[in-house]
Amino acid sequence: MQSAMTATTRDSGIPLVEEVPWGSHLCVFYESQDDLLDTVSSYLEAGLRGNEFCVWRLPAIVEIEEAREKLSSAIDEFDDYVDAGRLELLPASAGEYSGPAALEHLWLAKFEEANAKGLEGLRGCGDSSAWASQEDAAQYESDLHALLTDRPVLALCTYCLATTRAMDVFDIVRIHNLTVARRGGEWQFMETPELQRANARIRNLGDALAILSRPFPGHELLTDRERMVLAYLVKGASSKEAGRELGISPRTVDFHRANIMEKLGARNTADAVRRALSRG
């Protein structure tokens, strides 16, 4: 079940995010009510097209009739989906959070309903404005994240930029799988500092591998692992740094380094790098 779910991706309906696997915990920061309504309309429409049961727990700033009007204008065959029991709108007061049991009472019940209807899965959406404090919201998010595991469920949590403290933004981003922001109709992808650093490392490694993809004397003698180690040597990484990135010990890196120098006929690491950067 787990491997099948991992291989199954769904259309998120959110630009910059696109396809996501079941169990994804998504987040959108929005600036205006229009930004919120446009985002959720697109997210829910993708779920309805994908034969999912869609449930939106509305923020306090949006009345049910207002949401119905917006969704009706944005989603083709909206009334048919509602009549078929495929889309449900809940007021902000529904399922007030008081711990994991309350969370499961709301969302697991909806999940079972999706199963009973013979649908592909459940797509839920909720807003942080329903919580009395950021601490309540953080606990809810953590419990929700655990609840999604091993289930055909997608969750989208929306946060109003005007009411979210700057000091809480990174914590919110960190607990979600993917986070974007919508401000004045424009989208922006948001990354944690850890993800930014990881992406920078990947880009740097890609540059090094691009260099190593050009033939140089002795390149055909190296194994794939030795090429990876050499890529990090080209970047100037230490044995410890290279080992951490490759998931091997510094001693193993040194072993590969010695083989690289022997195969390339290099006197030392600097000479091996020079040979790798030379054109054959």
32/108: higher pLDDT: 32
Of 166, 190, 214, the position where a domain reaches its end is 190
Q: Could you tell me if 8 and 94 lie in one domain?
A: yes
Identify the weakest region by mean pLDDT among 28-32, 78-82, 139-143, 264-268. 139-143
pLDDT of residue 2: 33
Residue range(s) defining the domain that contains residue 170: 2-190
Highest-confidence segment of 3-12, 146-155, 224-233: 224-233
Between 2-11, 109-118, 151-160, 269-278, the lowest mean confidence (pLDDT) is in 2-11
Return the pLDDT at 75.
Answer: 93
The mean per-residue pLDDT over the stretch 27-31 comes to: 91
CA dist., res. 56 & res. 259, Å (int) = 59
In the listed set 190, 215, 241, which residue is the last one of a domain according to the structure?
A: 190
pLDDT in the model for residue 261 = 92
Residues 28 and 167 reside in one and the same domain: yes
- Domain end among 190, 207, 225: 190
Shared domain for 151 and 237, answered yes or no, is no
Residue 3 has pLDDT above 50, yes or no: no
CA-based nearest residue to 1, from 180, 123, 149 = 149
Looking at the predicted structure, is the pLDDT value of residue 4 above 50? no
The arithmetic mean of pLDDT across residues 209-218, rounded, is: 72
**152 and 264 inside one domain:** no
Q: Are residues 158 and 213 in the same domain?
A: no
Burial class (CB in 10 A: 0-12, 13-18, 19+), 123: buried
**pLDDT score, position 1:** 30
Query: Total structural domains in the chain?
Result: 2
Q: 132 versus 37: which is more confidently predicted?
A: 37
